[in-house]
Structure 1
Amino acid sequence: MPKAKGKTRRQKFSYNVNWKRLIQNARWKAASWVECSHIRHAWDHAKSVQQNLAEMGLAMDPNKVVPLRKRKVNAMDVDIEERPTELVRKPYVLNDLEAEASFPEKKGNTLSRDLIDYVRYVVEKHGEDYKAMALYVP
C-alpha cells in the first residue's frame, strides 16, 4: 500500500522560531478565554479590555463606577461633577445578560431515575426493615 506523499520527508528543526515565546503566547491566548458567550461574541480584539466593556455598558472597576462618599465633607465644599456618560454601543449584550439572569435557576441536586426506581422498589419490598434493605444488592 503506498504511503502519503509528505510522510517520507525528513523532519527539520526550525532554528528561526522562538519556541519559548510561541508556547507563552499560546498559553496567554488560551488563558484569555471569556466564558460568557454574549461578551465573547461582541468582543473586539483590536480594543482594550476597558474599551470593550465600556462599549457593552459593563464596568471593569466597580469602585470607579460607584464611588464611595466621604463622610466628613461639608455641603459647601462639594462641587458636583457630572461624569461624561460613555456611549453604550452594544446594548444588546447588557440586555441578553439581564434576560439570562432573570431565568429561574435550574435545580441540579436530583438523583438519577435508576436510583429513584431502585429505592422505591426496595422500600416497597422491605418497608422499614433497614437491615434487610442493606443486605439486598441488585
Structure 2
Amino acid sequence: MKIKKQHRKKKYLHKLNRKRMHNKQRSTGDVPCKTIKEAWDHKKSALRNLKEMGLANDPNTVIKIPSFKKEQLKKAKQMVNQDDSESEEEVVPRKPPKMEVVEKLEKEAKAPKERRFMLPKGQVEFITYLLDKYGNDYKAMARDKKNYYQETWKQLRAKVKTFMGIPKQYGEYLTARGLLDKELDEEEIKKAAKALVDDD
C-alpha cells in the first residue's frame, strides 16, 4: 500500500500546472484591508511587517493568560526582596515605526457604520398595506386575509417596528403618504416612528 502511494505521487499529470500550484501554496493570500495593504512591504516577512505596524501575529504571545503559579512566585519574590532597594526595571516597549497604521485601524473601527439592512420589496408592500388599512391595530392585522402565514399580532408588530427602524424605507413611506414634507435625517425619522408606534 505504501509503495503504491509513493508511486502515485511521482506520476506526472499533464493537466496540472506545477509552477502555478507551487506559487499558490507559497502565497499567504491577499490582504483585504486597504490600510495594511498600503503599508505592507513585500520584501519583508509577514511577521516583521505586522511587528513594524504595531500589530500582533499571534494574540497569545501579546495577551498572555495569567499563570497562577507564576503570579504566586512573583508575590513570593516581592516578599523576600522587600528589604532590597533593587527593584525590577520595567521594560518600556519600543514604539513601532508604522504606528499610524494602528491609529487608522482604530479610527475605522470606532467610526459609525452605515446600516445596510433593508427589508425585501414584498415584505415592505405587505407592511405598508397593513399600516394603511389598520394603522396601529395589530390584532386586526393578524385577522387580515392577506396574512397568509398566519402571523400573530406580536409578530406583525415586531415586523412593523423593524420597518420603522430603517430610516430610508420608512422615510420613503412617510413622504409618499404626505406625512413628511421634506427629507429628514435618521434621528428625526426615528422620532416620527416613536410617535406613531404604541409601546405596548
Fold shared by both chains (TM-score > 0.5): yes
Which runs of no fewer than 5 residues in structure 1 stay unpaired? 1-17
For 2:56, the equivalent position in structure 1 comes to: 59
Q: TM-score, normalised by structure 2?
A: 0.46
Cα offset, 1:120, TM superposition = 1.2
C-alpha RMSD of matched pairs (Å): 3.1
For 1:33, the equivalent position in structure 2 comes to: 30
For 2:96, the equivalent position in structure 1 comes to: 88
For 1:99, the equivalent position in structure 2 comes to: 107
Cα offset, 1:113, TM superposition = 5.7
Cα offset, 1:129, TM superposition = 5.4
Cα offset, 1:23, TM superposition = 2.0
The share of aligned pairs that are identical, in percent, is 29
Whole-angstrom distance in 1 between the partners of 2:124 and 2:110: 31
**Match runs of 1:74-85 below 5 Å:** 74=76, 75=78, 76=80, 80=88, 82-83=90-91, 85=93
Aligned partner of 2:46 among 46, 49, 57: 49
Structure 2 vs 1, CA of residues 133 and 87 (structure 1 numbering), >3 Å: closer, same or farther? Answer: same
Structure 2 vs 1, CA of residues 113 and 21 (structure 1 numbering), >3 Å: closer, same or farther? Answer: same
Check the 8 A contact 1:56/1:89 in 2, yes or no. yes
Cα offset, 1:106, TM superposition = 3.8
Whole-angstrom distance in 2 between the partners of 1:80 and 1:49: 33
Greater mean deviation of Cα atoms: 80-89 or 91-100: 80-89
Cα offset, 1:131, TM superposition = 4.8
Aligned partner of 2:19 among 18, 21, 25: 21
Check the 8 A contact 1:57/1:88 in 2, yes or no. yes
The Cα offsets for residues 41-68 of structure 1, whole Å up to 9 and x where unpaired, read as 1111111112101111112123333443
Letter paired with 2:146: M
Cα offset, 1:105, TM superposition = 3.9
For 1:130, the equivalent position in structure 2 comes to: 143
Cα offset, 1:83, TM superposition = 4.1
Higher helix residue share:
2
The Cα offsets for residues 57-89 of structure 1, whole Å up to 9 and x where unpaired, read as 112123333443522212247x83644634411
Whole-angstrom distance in 1 between the partners of 2:94 and 2:45: 15
Q: Which has the higher contact order (CA 8 A, sep 6+)?
A: 1
**Equivalent position SS for 2:51:** helix
The Cα offsets for residues 76-108 of structure 1, whole Å up to 9 and x where unpaired, read as 47x836446344111221111010111234444
Letter paired with 2:145: A
